[in-house]
Structure 1
Amino acid sequence: MSQDLILVTGGSGFVAIHCIDQLLRAGYDVRTTVRSLTREPEVRDMLENAGSPRRDALRFVEADLTHDKGWVEAVIGCRFVLHVASPFPPSAPNHEDDLIIPAREGALRVLRAARDASVERVVLTSSFAAIGYGHMPQTAPFDETTWTNVDAPGISAYAKSKTLAERAAWDFIKHEGGNLELSVVNPVGVFGPTFGPDYSTSILIVQRLLDGAIPVCPRIGFGAVDVRDVADLHLRAMTNQAARGERFLAVAGKSLSLLDVARILKIHMGPVARRVPTRELPDWIVRFSSLFIPDMKAIAPELGNRKNVSNEKAKRILGWIPRTNEEAITASGESLASLGLVKT
């Protein structure tokens, strides 16, 4: 049993709650930040739903990525920090800076506090959005050597926010980090079991499919990974010396289409999946709709663009073995159904 104290930022988030659960199971003491302490009961309820052990080893600190207050208290005494908190809204913000500034400045705020508190290593949750956008379509898998081109046309505010935040973090470590170490995890779409109603935008896709809110599937593709494996990769990157100064893509396997996700739900979810669509939406309808529907405008540039992503580095260096796409998607649907978050 380890008595090291670990900080997890954004404890109410989908990835963060799984990190907390796995840290508690591994014997660590955990501190987590929430924007308001009123969210503590919600986080504790999710951990109870997860069957997490040692829930009394978790403490809360109120801290917001947009303010300095609370971060000194949050990091003091911690050996490692998992900086998971970052905004990921279900729809585009009114202005891209609403995402970019808190993501970039929040990362720097956490890194400064960690450095000043003599934290050993920060593991930053970045995203495939910081790797695979703004490039010409390619058949070769993306890997950790690539960066999203934020100057390319059509880059989303979210992709810009993750790219600029991660670049700022690496620049900080290089020029101001002192003895602080940094590792980065770059997940694709994160699926898997949810412990409560606060879950990722990826899970929202599964919920909308199950609810019938997506009547036909646009021809879009994306990588998938189980949230349990994303959390596991964070813990491996936290303690493995070979992870120092490295990025790690978190992806289960080949990319999926939205229709692939629908088919997995149809196969494994039985009557719960009766509203799930079985047809693809023609590209021309998406492009026409994008002229006046914001959600379609975000989708249109990615039509038919299947991005394959390599997980070879995480497997080779950290011994990471992810679950299959099918397991991740099915677990998403089953947990939503068990929590009563799907229309009956």
Structure 2
Amino acid sequence: MNSNLVNTEILSKETGLDSLGNTSCIYPKDLTTQEPVSTALDDINLCAEISPALSDVEPPKIKSPKNSSPSGNFINFGLSGNQTNQRDTTIPIGQSHLSEVLNLEYLASYHKPIEFNYENNNVEILVTGATGFIASHIVERLLLRGYKVRGTIRSLESSTYNYLEALPYAKQNLRLVEANLLNSSIWNEVIKDCQVVIHCASPYSMDFNDPYVDIINPAVEGTKNVIDACCLCNDVKTVVLTSSIAAIVGDYENGKVYSEADWNEVSNPLIEPYLYSKTAAERLAHRTIDEQRPDLNLIVVNVGMTIGPSFRTDINQSVQWIYDMISGGIPTLVDFQTGWIDVRDVAEIHIRLFETKESHGRYICVQGMHTLQDIARIIKVTKPHLKTPSIVIPTFLAKLFISLFTSKSAACFLKKTMGKHILISNAKLVSHLSDYKFIPIEESLTDTCTDLQNKFKIQSSLFSFLRS
């Protein structure tokens, strides 16, 4: 049996940490001596908050750092001078040639070395929401493979994207542009000359003031604007859409095996706008391409609960569960189970899917099914100095009191999922990428906790007596 397949049997309560090899990322020695290549981006007219009228489009707003070439045709990002030229040809796991300068830990953890492919330098790939938790890892791996990457961000005036500029090969191959998802007038120019579009940008939150303004409209209308532009641009051959298992699993029918054929038909937009938005946005993408440009290949990656180390200094919703476990935010556990996946696997799978022939349609992207109790036990083994909750509240009690400790949306979700054990099958993905090995959940949790410890002070809480 393929070890990557999610098994329907109850997970073993015994956990252990696999030994890790000293994998490295291979870099060509002479890349930094090459002459910069000019791009068509210099003529692009992009900005964030502009009028929908095409006649009102503002002048180009593409960042030109101080070390841009004199000609102005090539936009450099990253370090200048001989700092780049001093790179060794390999970077071991956890080390960074940039760390001394930028205090940025290089977060690569690969099963195999990634070789820079000069042929990929002829391909430009757009990644929307490039600063995001998942998207930033995708950008990193695209750059390591030699692709030219165009990343959209909300504002070029912000310093929140500095970690992107510090990535290997960002200086040569990364272009950052401002783009507002809801501004339909700019996306034809944003996408122009890109062969692959990876659409990651979408809000993810269980907290909101207005479900349509905060969650649904940005997700659905934003996806519509991007997909419409892809359909009109003949340069684009493949669209990779980052979706979620939330678009697949809605009712949490106990004992059911869910696959790519399933759709979430039950989420209420007013109470669970995030779950609703993932289904609505993905369906719109399928429908639009079927109607407007059937020859455009759509690949959808339905990701599970995504954890792992982050380039960002904030915490995404999935990692928040882990942070709450080790910091005392969750004093006890509830009987909740879902599919988990490492962010580095998610990024790698996005790329391997568009690089692999015959990739098409939906792919559930989970490493395995784990309960919160499984997660807590694994952390206890791999990080024994951290205290995690050890008591699981009976489901009937949890349903009575859950609303006191979380948002209305999260409470609604947990009430219908607690106490139910399902299988979200990754069989299609495992069969299609038969040689791919997922990062073990033990490694994912270890790296997640280490990353959180490096960024935040983890203290004992008032409820320490409930934790072991």
TM-score by length of 2: 0.67
Q: Offset of 1:325 from its aligned partner?
A: 2.0
CA distance in structure 2 between the aligned counterparts of 1:121 and 1:313, rounded to whole angstroms: 19
The residue that corresponds to 2:383 in the other structure is 269
Q: Offset of 1:328 from its aligned partner?
A: 1.7
Output one character per residue of 1:297-327: Cα deviation in whole Å (capped at 9) or x when no partner: 4311111112212112112113332122222
Aligned pair 1:248/2:363, yes or no? yes
CA distance in structure 2 between the aligned counterparts of 1:148 and 1:155, rounded to whole angstroms: 14
Change (3 A) 1:334 1:291: closer
What is the aligned counterpart of 1:45 among 139, 152, 163? 163
Aligned pair 1:162/2:278, yes or no? yes
Q: Offset of 1:110 from its aligned partner?
A: 0.5
The residue that corresponds to 2:373 in the other structure is 259
Q: Offset of 1:47 from its aligned partner?
A: 6.3
Which residues of 2 match residues 93-172 of structure 1 at below 5 A? 93-98=208-213, 99-118=215-234, 119-134=236-251, 136-139=253-256, 141-150=257-266, 156-172=272-288
Alignment check: 8 A CA contact 2:267 2:275 kept: no
Alignment check: 8 A CA contact 1:63 1:69 kept: no
Higher deviation after alignment, 63-72 or 121-130: 63-72
Change (3 A) 1:216 1:194: same
Q: In structure 2, what residue type is equivalent to 1:127? A: S
Secondary structure at the counterpart of residue 242 of structure 1: coil
Q: Offset of 1:117 from its aligned partner?
A: 2.3
Instruction: Give the unaligned 5+ runs of structure 1.
Output: none
* Greater C-alpha radius of gyration: 2
Secondary structure at the counterpart of residue 122 of structure 1: strand
Which residues of 2 match residues 1-344 of structure 1 at below 5 A? 1=118, 2-3=120-121, 4-39=123-158, 41-45=159-163, 48=166, 52-56=167-171, 57-89=173-205, 91-98=206-213, 99-118=215-234, 119-134=236-251, 136-139=253-256, 141-150=257-266, 156-177=272-293, 179-244=295-360, 246-253=361-368, 255-271=369-385, 273-274=386-387, 276-290=388-402, 294=408, 295-319=410-434, 320-340=436-456, 342-343=458-459
CA distance in structure 1 between the aligned counterparts of 2:298 and 2:457, rounded to whole angstroms: 37
Structure ranking higher in helix proportion:
1
Change (3 A) 1:173 1:43: same
Secondary structure at the counterpart of residue 38 of structure 1: coil
Q: In structure 2, what residue type is equivalent to 1:187? A: V
Q: In structure 2, what residue type is equivalent to 1:261? A: I
Higher deviation after alignment, 226-235 or 173-182: 173-182
Alignment check: 8 A CA contact 1:218 1:282 kept: yes
Change (3 A) 1:46 1:58: closer
Secondary structure at the counterpart of residue 219 of structure 1: coil
Change (3 A) 1:281 1:46: farther
Alignment check: 8 A CA contact 2:269 2:277 kept: no
Alignment check: 8 A CA contact 1:217 1:280 kept: yes
Change (3 A) 1:262 1:47: farther
Q: In structure 2, what residue type is equivalent to 1:299? A: L
Higher deviation after alignment, 102-111 or 119-128: 102-111
Query: Percent same amino acid among aligned pairs?
Result: 32
Alignment check: 8 A CA contact 2:382 2:442 kept: no
Change (3 A) 1:38 1:286: farther
Instruction: Give the unaligned 5+ runs of structure 2.
Output: 1-117, 461-468
CA RMSD of aligned residues (A): 2.2
Change (3 A) 1:304 1:27: same
CA distance in structure 2 between the aligned counterparts of 1:13 and 1:212, rounded to whole angstroms: 26
Output one character per residue of 1:225-266: Cα deviation in whole Å (capped at 9) or x when no partner: 01111111110222223113x11010102x111121111112
Alignment check: 8 A CA contact 1:220 1:302 kept: yes
Q: In structure 1, what residue type is equivalent to 2:397? A: I
